[in-house]
Amino acid sequence: MTWNKQDLLRQMVTIRAFEEMAEQLYTMGKVHGTMHLSIGMEASAVGAIAALRPDDLILSTHRGHGHCIAKGADLNLMMAEFMGKENGYCRGRGGSMHIADVEGGNLGANGVVGGGIATAMGVGLGLNMQRRDDSPGTDRIVLCFFGDGAANLGSFHESLNMAAIWKLPVVYVCENNQYAMSFSVKRAFAIERISDRAAAYGMPGTTVDGNDLMAVLGAVSEAVKRARAGEGPSLVENVTYRWRGHSKSDANRYRTQEEIEAWKEKCPIKRFRAQLIEQGALTEEEADQIEQEAYAAIDAAVAFAEASPEPTVETIEEGVYA
């Protein structure tokens, strides 16, 4: 499989632009509710999803804007959802924490830490049952994102075990961003690498530099290959860092500014951009162009969302039951 590296850069920059705008809209009082920003973690989302086929499925987290964009979401519909509009992906019923693009294979962000880990196992079970070796395209897989905090929930244990005993086509991607809200991984784990837990379930576990897009892509591609071949699930740990607070109420009391600044030096976007330029895959001008286009696309999405209609109260009870 070959990748259009310019497109991967474009995806990362688009995520950054979306989230910077999200933050700005929030500050301007244009957004009702909270949100969780993945600024600084873009390589994890883009690298992991680049390893998938378009017809593969993902389950995302509360910090899911990046996953949604990398899976190919329409920025207008996404921004409209973020702003609670009727023509957003979820008719304004979900918001930042529940954006889903079912047609695009994104089975949703999730407000519950660890909630998607079990659902993803079930998705893997369903895909596996519909797999026919004589029918191309039935070898779809599911990739499930979750954070370091979720790895300490019972759902992690039950689901990884079940996925492993049935050899389900699931790729578990743990985005270790160092903190479960305020609780450091150093205090939450007695082990160095979360991926070490994979051994307990009889599946491969790998830890990679989550700010290195190609490293993420390489590790997840291996896991995807294994899942698609019917050999079972894998656990990939992307070590990364969230620059912003957990949510909008976070005063960063649990970490130092120096620590945050040190991680900003490891910016995944800057790094990938420099790599591409160094490799001659991209010129400075082209890179600038990509950034400008990404930010322009976000501006257009905001204009679309702002011009979009609010849901009407008459429709409030729709969609509870099929």
Partner 1 sequence: MRELTYLEAVREALWQEMERDERVFIIGEDVGVYGGAFGVTRGMVEHFGQERVIDTPISEYGIAGAITGAALTGMRPVGEIMFMDFTTFAMEQLVNQAAKMRFMFGGTIEVPFVLRTPAGSGTGAAAQHSQSLESWFVHVPGLKVVMPSTPYDVKGLLLASIRDDNPVIFIEHKLLYKIRGPVPEKQYTIPLGSADVKREGCDLTIVATSIMVERALEAAAQLAEKGIEAEVVDPRTLKPLDEEAIVRSVAKTGRVLIVHEACRTGGYGGELAAVIAGSEAFDYLDAPIVRLAGRDIPIPYNRTLEYHTVPQVENIVQAARQLAQGRI
Site for partner 1, rule CB under 8 A: 57, 88-94, 98, 100, 102-103, 107-108, 110-112, 115-127, 129-130, 142, 154-155, 158-159, 161-162, 165, 318-322
Helix, strand, coil: what percent of the chain each, to 5?
A: 50, 10, 40
Q: Which is nearer to partner 1, 74 or 293 (CB)?
A: 74
Name which of 103 and 299 has its Cβ closer to partner 1.
Answer: 103
Tell me the residue type at 316: I
Q: How far is the CB of 229 from partner 1 (least distance, A)?
A: 19
Closer to partner 1 by CB, 157 or 193: give it. 157
Residue closer to partner 1 by CB (options 14, 159) is 159
CA–CA distance, 139 with 267 (Å, rounded to integer): 35
Q: Which residue blocks in the chain are alpha helix, DSSP H?
A: 5-27, 42-50, 65-70, 75-82, 115-129, 154-165, 185-188, 213-228, 257-264, 268-279, 284-306
CB of 138 to partner 1, least distance (A): 11
- Which H/E stretch holds residue 180? strand 179-180
| In the block, residue with structure tokens 């501006």 | 299
Least separation in angstroms between residue 75's CB and partner 1 is 17
Cβ at position 72, least distance to partner 1 in Å: 16
How far apart CA 163 and CA 175 sit, in angstroms, is: 19
Q: Which has the closest alpha carbon to 157: 102, 88, 235?
A: 235
- Closest contact distance (angstroms) between CB of 92 and partner 1 is 8
- In the complex, the smallest distance separating the C-beta of residue 59 from partner 1, rounded to whole angstroms, is 8
Amino acid at 74: D
Of 81 and 175, nearer to partner 1 (C-beta) is: 81
